[in-house]
Amino acid sequence: MVNERCNPEIVGSGNAGKHCTVIIGHKEVEGVHKVKEMRGVEEFSGVSVRISKQDDVYTCLIDSTGRPSSVGVGNAGKEVTVIVHSDE
């Protein structure tokens, strides 16, 4: 979810400094398996996600607290899909 300050939920401080892609709305991810769940945030690993022309997509940087940067006024309360980019 996007909070009242228009930031997506925290994805973990272990991801600090990483880039992520934030898609407004819930997306289905192919080849997905659950990795872990902490404080109501579920972490999954998957192969691919389909994005349509109607989707709002943002590239964000994750700060030291594990929170992606703002996705804009008007998105508060919306559900999001966050893809954290890693070097693995």
At 10-27, the pLDDT tens digits run 888 889 999 999 999 877
Q: What is the pLDDT of residues 33-61, one digit of tens each?
A: 888 887 766 777 877 788 888 889 999 99
- How far apart CA 44 and CA 31 sit, in angstroms, is 10
Distance of CA 87 to the CA centre of its chain: 17
Measure CA 13 to chain center: 13
Say whether pTM exceeds 0.85.
no
